[in-house]
Amino acid sequence: MTSPQRVPGGFPVVGIIGGGQLARMCQPPAVNLSITLSVLAEAPDAAAAQVIPSAPVGSHLSVDDVLEFARSCDVVTFDHEHVPSDVLQALVDAGVPVHPKPEALLYAQDKLEMRERLTKLGVPCPAWARVRDVSELAAFGDEHGWPVVLKTPRGGYDGKGVRVIDAASEAADWFARGDDLLAEESVPFSRELAVLVARSPSGQSAVWPIVQTVQTDGICTEVLAPAPDLDDELSSHASQSALQLAGELDITGVFAVEIFEIPGSDGAAPSYVVNELAMRPHNSGHWTMDGSVTSQFEQHLRAVLDLPLGEVSARAPWTVMGNVLGGDYDQLYPTYKHLLARDPGLKMHLYGKGVRPGRKIGHVNVYGDDLDSLRARARHAADYLEGTVTE
Ligand code: ADP
C-alpha cells in the first residue's frame, strides 16, 4: 500500500475505513484544514477514492488489510458501522486511536445491545423483547398488540432487516437462521426526527437543531431543518438526553439519534421514543453542509482529532435537504445547465456513484426563509436528477 502524503507543518492523517459517500464528503473540510485523509476503499472507483488520493483497496473484514492501512494513520474512523469486533479489537491492541471506540460502536452495530443499554439508562424506547423463536414472538405480540415490528439485530440499513409482522408464523424463515431477533411494538408515531451530536475524546460536545426526516418506502428522501413546530420541551429533553447518552456511552465523533415523535392525546404535549443510533456522520445531517456554520463532516474531523468543536447554529431559518435516488437516466452532468440556471441558490452534492434505480447517488440543499418554497425547490431538483420531471 502507498502511504498518504503528509502535509508539512505537523498536520495529521485521518484514516477512514470504507470509501463511500461519507468519507468522500469529509474531503472538502479536510482540504480546508490541511488534514490528509486516507481511505480503505472497497474498489478503486469507490465514491471517496475518486477524490482522496490515498485510497488503498482492501477489506474492512480483514485484520491484515485494516492493520496495514492503519499503520500510516494518526487516527482511524469509519464510513460505515460494519467493521467486525475482532478487526476493531486488533486495531485497539495495535495502539491505533479509533473513534468511535469499539465499546461505543457496538450500540450502533447491534440493535439488541442498543435496546438493552438504552433501557438501562432510562432512555425512552418502544416496548421491546429479545425473541428466540416463533412462540416467544407470539407471546410478545399478544402482550403488546399486533402488528409487531421485527428486526434483525445486525446488518440492516434503509429498512432492510425490518419487517412488520401480523402473525408470528410470518417470521419462521428468519428464526430458521438461528439468530435472536428484536421484537418491538409498532409505535404510533406522527413523524421521525433526528438529533445530531458531536463529541470529542476530551468530552466537549455539541448538538445541532433537531431535524425532521421524511421517509418514502423506508428510505429517507427529505430532511427539514429545524423540525417544523417542534414542541420546546420535547426538543430540549431529546437534545439533553442525546448529550447525556454521548457521555454515558463515551461516543466520539459525530453520531445521530433517530427518534419517533408520538402525538399527545387530548391536547397533551407530544412524547418520543428512540429508534436507533448511527455512529458516524448521518444522512439526517447532510443539511449542515450548507445550512450550518459547521458541517457534520468538518465537525467529525475536529472531534476524532480532539480539536475544539465548531459552532452548530443554522445559517438560515430553514434548510431543506433532498436525497437524490437513482432514476431513469444516468447522464447527470447534462442536468446541470437547466438546474443551476433555474435555481442559483441550489447546492448540489453528487457522490460519483453509478446510477441504479433507488440508489442514493447524491443530495441537494437549499436554505432560506420560506419552508414551502424550499421544499418545492429541493423536490424539483431531486426529481429532475431522477428523470421524473423534464423541465
Ligand atoms: P434501518 O436500520 O434499516 O434504518 P430502522 O430500525 O431505522 O431500520 O427502521 C426502518 C423504518 O421502519 C423506520 O424509519 C420506521 O419508519 C420504521 N420502524 C422501525 N421501527 C419501528 C417501530 N418500532 N414502530 C413503527 N415503525 C418502525
Instruction: Report, as ranges of residue numbers, the positions in the chain whose pLDDT lies below 50.
Output: none
For 276, phi then psi, to 5°, come to -160, 175
Q: What pLDDT does residue 159 have?
A: 72
Q: What is the largest CA-CA distance in the chain?
A: 65
**Domain 191-386, what fold?**
D-amino Acid Aminotransferase; Chain A, domain 1 (3.30.470)
The CA distance from 127 to 131, in Å, is 13
Locate the ligand 1 atom nearest the alpha carbon of residue 185 and give its number: 23
Q: Is 155 a pocket residue for ligand 1 (Cβ < 6 Å)?
A: no
What SS3 state is found at 52?
Answer: coil
Cβ of 358 below 6 Å from ligand 1: no
Q: How many residues does the chain have?
A: 391
pLDDT of res. 330: 80
CA-CA distance, 214 to 192, in Å (whole number)? Answer: 7
What does the alpha-carbon distance between residue 264 and residue 50 come to, in Å, rounded to a whole number? 48
What pLDDT does residue 217 have?
86
Assigned architecture for domain 13-98: 3-Layer(aba) Sandwich (3.40)
Q: How far is the CA of 157 from the centre of ligand 1 (A)?
A: 10
Closest atom of ligand 1 to CA, residue 186: 24
Instruction: For residue 128, give the C-alpha cell.
Output: 421491546
Residue 276 near ligand 1, beta carbon < 6 Å: yes
Q: Supply the mean pLDDT for the chain.
A: 96
Backbone angles phi, psi at 118, to 5 degrees: -65, -40
CA distance 22 to 297: 8
pTM for this model (two decimals): 0.96
For β-strands 205-207 and 211-216, DSSP reports them as: unpaired
Could you tell me the residue ranges of all domains in the chain?
13-98, 127-185, 191-386
Residue 124 to residue 108: CA distance in whole angstroms? 17
Report which of 176, 154, 57 is spatially closest to residue 108, judged by C-alpha positions. Answer: 154
Looking at domain 127-185, its CATH class is alpha beta
Which residue, 201, 197, 198, 219, is CA-closest to 211?
Answer: 197
Q: Is the distance from the beta carbon of residue 214 to the nearest atom of ligand 1 less than 6 Å?
A: no
Under 8 Å CB-to-CB from 287, ≥6 apart: which residues? 211, 223, 225, 319, 320, 321, 365, 367
Q: How far is CA 337 from the centre of its chain?
A: 31
Question: Residue 315 Cα, ligand 1 centroid: separation in angstroms?
Answer: 30
Q: Which residues face 367 on adjacent strands?
A: 319
Instruction: Give 287 Cα–ligand 1 centroid separation in angstroms.
Output: 22
